[in-house]
Structure 1
């Protein structure tokens, strides 16, 4: 009997057969995990750095462009401001220096007013303090008669005069009385002019001045303006002989006849006295004493009876009372 030999043959996959789907999924997952675990290459790092550098460059470029635009805008605005200042200066020079311009004559008139009353009202020799005799020469100031004539020339006979409290009267006499009283009440007086401005509208022309009314305190000052501290040696010692610089200004409104038809003055007592005492409580004791006439009233009480401004003063505001301010 013939026996055939048996051999074990290898299994050869059929041509065109596909792997099992489950094995493909496992391979895909393994590949993704491997890629996720793979370290970042040098090329990817370089690319990230390039992107960051590009963003920084663009940011700096935008910042520089913004700064350049801003600098150009500021330069343009500065040039425009300088042009406006030049135009304003030219306009003021035309107003002040053109002889034919009405505003030019008004400006010169008020400048002369400031010169005429720079040292207050001329006083008789018997009333003139010794310090003023030494500082003001006979040729530097007009006589009281000449000053009154000048005031009458500048002011309309019915000029409206308003003080810093809004009280009003008519006529130039109250101004002359005020200059005379303040000259008598201080050992020296000078109006230090700091600014001068012409204001024009279609209806009127006004001239505004600003400066300091510089006075030196004397016994007459305490007697007439601060009598309620006459017995306070501490206050007296701080006031006597002291120069006080009151911020002061006035505005002159001209009428159609070329004279001042309205006058407004302004003075800052609190600001000036604060520079002396640096204590608002003491300042308010001087300006608004609780049981005495206020400085705002005494400053215009020139001895005329009745005083026209005091007869038409508005009701005093409670906010100016010492107790209210210090509460």
Structure 2
């Protein structure tokens, strides 16, 4: 932490009303004037420590390689602000209004902004978008804010899948230069696996998806079992019997009806495999949701 203060000259916060360029300055234990609109200011390698930005309006300001330590942001308006390569450490953000603001390659320690407040200003480049959201997700989780953690977590997955699509399509010069056809082919499977991962169990964050996926598999197998002679020959309750057999197989319980046809024996084994796999998904997701909270 000391390195953020070393070599910087302390500056009065009121000087922001008359001076437009600041280099290697330290602003300490003060508050900005909420009745004044700060605009057209450039900060380079400055440190803001325990500064209140409450109810402050800022426009067209550059914070290049700046550090914010223990600062307070509430009802603050960021309008065309450049925070590129800045660091936020143990800052508080609430009810922010963020417009056309850049957070490219920023670092966040024990700090996060609500997803809805920053979503329009997240980096457009997939890698940096995923990087920022991953950091925010961890900070939300450490703070105990599970709802915001999930929003950032799923945004990381969306950004990763968007990157896979760009690699597959290779429409932009960068992707044509850095990835060949083999990479495109390989990322097709990565994209499919990621989509299935989200569909089956929500990347481990949506336990309800496991129940929906399990029910879907049970129904599909029950429809296939209707073609088995031992089921189709029943005088009544054909589908109910097929559904019962499917549920037993999925839960690895021996049903009253045991298929003698080899084709259906293999199907039964396959459904048992799915049942065991989904039981593993359920336990892993339950442990993930309980243990990480």
Looking at CA atoms only, which structure, 1 or 2, has the larger radius of gyration? 1
Normalised TM-score (structure 2) = 0.23
Greater relative contact order (CA < 8 Å, ≥ 6 in sequence): 1
